[in-house]
Amino acid sequence: MRWTRPSLAVIAAALLTTSCSAGAGSTGHAGGAASKDTSPLTAALGTEKDSAGPAPAVPGARPGGTVNVYNSVEFRHLDPQKVYAGATYNASLLWGRQLTQYQVVDGKAKLVGDLATDTGTSTDEGRTWTYRLKEGVAWEDGKPITSEDVKYGIERTFGKGYEVGPPYWPQWLTGEPNYEAARAKYAGPQAGGLAAIETPDARTLVFHFPQPQADVPYMAAQSSSSPVRRDKDTGTEYDRLPFATGPYRIVEHVQNTRMVLERNPAWKAETDPIRNQYPDRFVFTYGKEALNGNQEILSGRDGGANATTASDELSPELYQVTDTDPKAGELVVSGRRGAFVSQLVINNERVPDVEVRRALNLAYPRQQARQVQGGSRTGELASTLSSPALLDWQKYDLNPARPEGDPEAAKAALAKAKQAPGTLSYAYRNTPDGQRVAQVLVDGFGKAGITVVPKPIDPKAFLDEVHRADSPYDLFEETSSVDWPTPSTLIPFSFDGRAGSDINSARYRNPEVDREIDRINRIGEPRAKAKELYALEQTVMKDLPVLPLAYPTVNQLRGSNVGGAFIHPIYGAVGLTWLYLKS
Amino acid sequence: MAALDTVAVTGPVPGPAEPSLLRRVVHDRVGAAALAVVLLFLLLALAAPLIAALYGKNPVEHYGQNTPGLLSDGGVPMLPNGGISGEFWFGLEPGLGRDVLTQLLYGIRTSLLIAFAAAGVTTALGVLAGVAVGYLGGIADRLFGFLANVLLAFPTLLLLLAISPVIQSRLVDPNAAEPDWMQFLVLVLVFSAFGWIPLALSLRATVRSLRERDFVQSARAQGASRFHVVVRELLPNVRSQLLVHATMAVPAFVASEAALSFLGVGVTEPVPDWGRMISRGSEVFRSDPTYLVFPGVALLLFVLAFNLLGDAVRDALDPRRAR
């Protein structure tokens, strides 16, 4: 299971003026802010001391004021057990707390205990995990958060209607490999208490897993691990108005229009090692076109100076403004889009010859493909399947290729193939950007003597079309992410030969890799497991089932009066709980 | 479109010879200028490969991407004014870095091919249906009226938006690109299927009044066949109407084709197309406004010239107008 997102759709806006255009050469720096060098953003596990509050203060921050958050679309879900998207995880930190969470200092994330006193202790080789809740953690009405509330929240993930959330708690707690089988064993809180979670007292939780689970501390940071109080569970209404545990509470929420957060008086800073509470209020405004919201932020009018966006990115139409006007350029907040990696996926069933895939890798005009989408500001060229955002990540490049493509080398590689491919079909989302990338690939691969046939597909149907088992396409681009910053949900899902084509979209089948996955899944210690998985990733990459393209970068805007803005290294959007207003 | 009631001139005309249509159009200054522009566009379209060869560029090569230093990291031309230089006279396309001048030249061919084909088919269909129905009357007339109403009510744009993915997925092999001729054919067919109605309606009205006139009645009284009446008596009298329709239809189809490409259902990459250029121009307008200027001005000039020419033709054929 992974997050996949469509590539940025460019919205056309035609306004006629009579201005002459300056060339990009006159801006001094070509292409604007390039992403920083590859640096591992290790989300290491913090100690009990790290988990104690209060959060490290943001330098120069002052309390007070109202921060505006603009976004073109509303979050799909607010019910913590239904949330399954980085931008919502990010925003929900304002009102929701989990067992563990990422403390971010200087752009580096560290996993620490949030409601829990630490990131969890495991015994029995990772089959039993114990958490103790902090003292003084409370609901917005002042009542203490108990282990029973956390248990109830996790029980909800088994319930009907909650399959939109991540499937991991049900799978792990029942030991079933798939979600439906897990739900057949336990059907949610209506079916009584779940025996696999013990609550010996009001502050202690003991998880019992049939198999060793190394990633429990990371899963405990997911929104699904938020407590829900049984008497406040309003069912579907909870998706609109969840009951707050964080520094803010939701006082008004008109869906797709507006949401107002005010300070939560029951939240105590000394219990929280992650969040701050500088502004008095947050006002979310939905439905504003991304370009309009961005222009307001740049101009500073109508509250734009105090605003940022939840997930809307800097519109390509404004690149020239932020590149040429230093004042506007300062307002761009850039950072890695969490653990996302974009890649050219090869259907390994249709292109089974590794030499052909090697030739494709050598001819792949990565730099040109990135150039037509906005250049280096949109991401850093990749050579790995895993993202630099992962635990203990290390750069490697088993199949070095020139970024602009090397047709001669590709021809030489192709000569070694058992049979040269006839034509290869490339499926793409039928958007202006998609069409341009398709032209780049047709041109680039064509120079190496590989005929690529571009096949435009309706953007809404794209994932279904390329993921279905009998999909007739050889190549397509995909941008996806692991569920948390360890490699545990990468190879064991996307390159497991037994997984369906909706998850293993490259249709990569290697029995040796499958056996390794089974062996590594029994390791109960996160770092040891990660190390083995990186070794396995290199085994997979020797077969080149997919061609990594880029580690995407997020570019958002913040108003000139907004301080403390950075892209959350795990969730890939401007971190809201660190913001303050300068005046 | 004004219904004309010129009467067929049978036999040699006494007195001074009528000036030819061409001479009458050229006599009008605006008409002469419009005709010159139209001819220029036609010439450019025909000579596009020759001009491109002399100029040394082609419309499909990604110059900006293949030669470092022409485009920025983000794909914007490095030189001011869209990268206009001695090498690239009209600049470079942002992103892919293709040559704008050759794109424009080959774009004329795309536009004209579709517009002329559609105008030809609609005119032929319109004449056939309009004259036949107008002359026959009765049940044929009523059936035609119903059909015309249905077709006029059809949302052409929605139909095109809806069928283009269907054609892609049903008629084209998944491992083959949609052939260029199929894209052209679909556009021409859809334009034709709905474009012939207005002409047929106006011809029907004209023919209805013509068939009661003395010269037609006398031809019938003399035992002329229906075919003879239609071809020899009626058609010459609607000739001017046809000419005006055809000249006005071409620019309308050019504009419609550009609009469809703008919306993404017209001719696809890499066939050069003005509508797609304008669409791209509007995307990059803030960083490279020059790119929008060339296809925008070219389309404006082209449609304007054709419209003015159509007006001139109509005026030249109008007997009420003093010459």
Ranges of each domain in chain B = 22-61+99-317
Contacts of A9 (CB under 8 A, 6+ apart): A431, A433, A459
- Give the lowest-confidence range in A339-353, B12-26, B118-132: B12-26
Query: Hey, CA dihedral for A138, A141, A147, A149, is it positive or negative?
Result: negative
What's the rounded Cα separation, in Å, for the pair B7 and B9?
Answer: 6
Evaluate if residue A365 carries a pLDDT over 90: yes
- The candidate with the shortest Cα–Cα distance to A99, out of A129, A57, A61, A62, is A129
pLDDT tens-digit profile of A163-194? Answer: 888 889 999 999 888 888 888 999 889 888 89
pLDDT, position A46: 77
Rounded to whole angstroms, the maximal C-alpha distance in chain A is 74
What's the rounded Cα separation, in Å, for the pair A75 and A97?
Answer: 18
- Give the lowest-confidence range in A36-40, A498-502, B81-85: A36-40
Overall average pLDDT of the A398-413 stretch:
90
CB pairs under 8 A between A and B: 135
* Residues making up chain B, counted from first to last: 323
Q: For residues B288 and A27, is the Cβ–Cβ distance under 8 A?
A: no
Residue with tokens 């008095």: A280
**For strand A258-263 and strand A100-105, is the pairing parallel, antiparallel, or unpaired?**
unpaired
Nearest CB to A14 within list B76, B174, B282: B282
Rounded to two decimals, the ipTM of the complex is 0.76
Point out which residues pair with A130 in neighbouring strands: A121, A206
The nearest alpha carbon in chain B to A374 belongs to: B74
Q: For residues A209 and A172, is the Cβ–Cβ distance under 8 A?
A: yes
* Binding-face residues of B in 157-186 toward A, CB within 8 A: 165, 168, 174-177
* Binding-face residues of A in 11-30 toward B, CB within 8 A: 12-17, 19-27, 30
Contacts of B108 (CB under 8 A, 6+ apart): B41, B44, B45, B48, B274, B298, B302
The tokens for B203 are 């011809």
pLDDT, position A269: 92
Is A57 near chain B, with CB under 8 Å?
A: no
* Residues making up chain A, counted from first to last: 583
What's the rounded Cα separation, in Å, for the pair B244 and A239?
Answer: 64
Contacts of A317 in chain B (CB under 8 A): 283, 285-287
- The candidate with the shortest Cα–Cα distance to A448, out of A473, A421, A428, is A421
- The candidate with the shortest Cα–Cα distance to A306, out of A70, A577, A581, A61, is A581
The nearest alpha carbon in chain A to B281 belongs to: A14
pLDDT over 90, % of chain B: 2
What's the rounded Cα separation, in Å, for the pair A165 and A224?
Answer: 7
Is A458 near chain B, with CB under 8 Å?
A: yes
Nearest CB to A456 within list B65, B168, B175: B168
The nearest alpha carbon in chain A to B288 belongs to: A21
What's the rounded Cα separation, in Å, for the pair A232 and B315?
Answer: 80
Q: Do A371 and B65 make contact, defined as CB atoms within 8 angstroms?
A: yes
Is A455 near chain B, with CB under 8 Å?
A: yes
Q: Do B74 and A442 make contact, defined as CB atoms within 8 angstroms?
A: no
**Angle between the N-to-C axes of helices B197-211 and B180-195, in degrees from 0 to 180, rounded to the nearest 10:** 40
pLDDT, position A209: 94
Q: Do A25 and B72 make contact, defined as CB atoms within 8 angstroms?
A: yes
Per-residue b or e along A266-295, where b marks 16 or more CB atoms closer than 10 Å to that residue's CB: bbbeebbbbbbbbbeebbbbbebebbebbb
Nearest CB to A21 within list B175, B177, B288: B288
The nearest alpha carbon in chain B to A379 belongs to: B74
pLDDT tens-digit profile of B65-82? Answer: 888 888 888 788 888 777
Mutate which: A8, A319, A371, vs B, most B CBs within 10 A: A371
Is B270 near chain A, with CB under 8 Å?
A: yes
**CATH architecture of the domain with range B22-61+99-317:** Orthogonal Bundle (1.10)
**Angle between the N-to-C axes of helices A432-447 and B274-283, in degrees from 0 to 180, rounded to the nearest 10:** 110
Q: How far is CA B296 from the centre of its chain?
A: 17
Quick one: DSSP state of residue A281? E
- The candidate with the shortest Cα–Cα distance to A219, out of A183, A182, A165, is A165
Contacts of B279 in chain A (CB under 8 A): 12, 432
What's the rounded Cα separation, in Å, for the pair A226 and A157?
Answer: 11
Q: For residues B45 and B316, is the Cβ–Cβ distance under 8 A?
A: no
Q: For residues B250 and B45, is the Cβ–Cβ distance under 8 A?
A: no
Overall average pLDDT of the A384-410 stretch:
89
Evaluate if residue B1 carries a pLDDT over 50: no
pLDDT, position A42: 52
Helices (H), A112-265: 147-156, 168-174, 179-185, 216-219
The tokens for A523 are 């390791």
What's the rounded Cα separation, in Å, for the pair A568 and A90?
Answer: 8
What's the rounded Cα separation, in Å, for the pair A481 and A123?
Answer: 30
**How far does the CA of residue A13 sit from the closest CA of chain B (Å)?**
6
The nearest alpha carbon in chain B to A378 belongs to: B74
- Give the lowest-confidence range in A20-29, A36-45, A283-292: A20-29
Give the pLDDT band of residue A1 (cuts 50, 70, 90).
Answer: very low
- The candidate with the shortest Cα–Cα distance to A311, out of A123, A475, A89, is A89
- The candidate with the shortest Cα–Cα distance to A145, out of A74, A43, A244, is A244
The percent helix, strand, coil of chain A (3-state, each to 5) is 30, 20, 50
pLDDT tens-digit profile of A431-454? Answer: 888 888 999 999 999 999 899 998
Contacts of A438 in chain B (CB under 8 A): 269
* Residue-averaged pLDDT of chain B: 81
Mutate which: B88, B92, B96, vs A, most A CBs within 10 A: B96
Ranges of each domain in chain A = 340-553
Give the pLDDT band of residue A345 (cuts 50, 70, 90).
Answer: very high
The more confident residue out of B181 and A328 is A328
Cα angle vertex A467, ends A463, A470, to 5°?
135
**How far does the CA of residue A521 sit from the closest CA of chain B (Å)?**
39
pLDDT, position B242: 83
Q: Do B81 and A436 make contact, defined as CB atoms within 8 angstroms?
A: no
Is A193 near chain B, with CB under 8 Å?
A: no
pLDDT, position B68: 82
Q: Is B136 exposed, middle or buried (0-12, 13-18, 19+ CB in 10 A)?
A: middle
- Give the lowest-confidence range in A63-77, A78-92, B190-204: B190-204
Identify how many contiguous H helices and E strands chain B contains and give both numbers. 15, 0
The tokens for A179 are 């979600």
Q: For residues A405 and A362, is the Cβ–Cβ distance under 8 A?
A: yes
The percent helix, strand, coil of chain B (3-state, each to 5) is 70, 0, 30
Residue A457, CA distances (Å) to A329, A368, B265 in order: 35, 22, 12
Is B280 near chain A, with CB under 8 Å?
A: yes
pLDDT tens-digit profile of A455-464? Answer: 888 888 888 8
Give the pLDDT band of residue B203 (cuts 50, 70, 90).
Answer: confident
What's the rounded Cα separation, in Å, for the pair A215 and A289?
Answer: 39
pLDDT tens-digit profile of A155-169? Answer: 999 998 888 888 899
Nearest CB to A371 within list B71, B270, B282: B71
Nearest CB to B174 within list A31, A321, A472: A472
pLDDT, position B148: 86
Residue with tokens 């075919």: B227
- The candidate with the shortest Cα–Cα distance to B268, out of B188, B159, B164, B193, is B164
What's the rounded Cα separation, in Å, for the pair A12 and B284?
Answer: 8
Overall average pLDDT of the A247-270 stretch:
94
Give the pLDDT band of residue A289 (cuts 50, 70, 90).
Answer: confident
A172 three-state secondary structure: helix
Q: Is A193 exposed, middle or buried (0-12, 13-18, 19+ CB in 10 A)?
A: middle
What residue type is assigned to position B271 of the chain?
Answer: V
The tokens for A372 are 């037509």
Is B285 near chain A, with CB under 8 Å?
A: yes
pLDDT, position A442: 92
- Give the lowest-confidence range in A254-258, A465-469, B75-79: B75-79
Q: Do A455 and B168 make contact, defined as CB atoms within 8 angstroms?
A: yes
Q: For residues A43 and A102, is the Cβ–Cβ distance under 8 A?
A: yes
Evaluate if residue A561 carries a pLDDT over 90: yes
pLDDT tens-digit profile of A498-510? Answer: 888 888 889 999 9
Q: What are the strands, taking DSSP E only, across A459-545?
A: 475-481
Is CATH 3.40.710.10 the right assignment for the domain spanning A340-553? Answer: no
Contacts of B283 in chain A (CB under 8 A): 10, 12-13, 316-317, 432
pLDDT, position B18: 60
What's the rounded Cα separation, in Å, for the pair A279 and A562?
Answer: 10
Identify how many contiguous H helices and E strands chain A contains and give both numbers. 16, 22
Nearest CB to A439 within list B96, B281, B287: B96
What's the rounded Cα separation, in Å, for the pair B295 and B107?
Answer: 9
pLDDT, position B169: 67
What's the rounded Cα separation, in Å, for the pair B144 and B151?
Answer: 10
* Residue-averaged pLDDT of chain A: 87
Point out which residues pair with B72 in neighbouring strands: none
Q: Do A371 and B75 make contact, defined as CB atoms within 8 angstroms?
A: yes
pLDDT, position B16: 53
The more confident residue out of A532 and A1 is A532
Q: Report, in angstroms and rounded to the nearest whole number, the Rg of chain A calculated over CA atoms.
A: 24
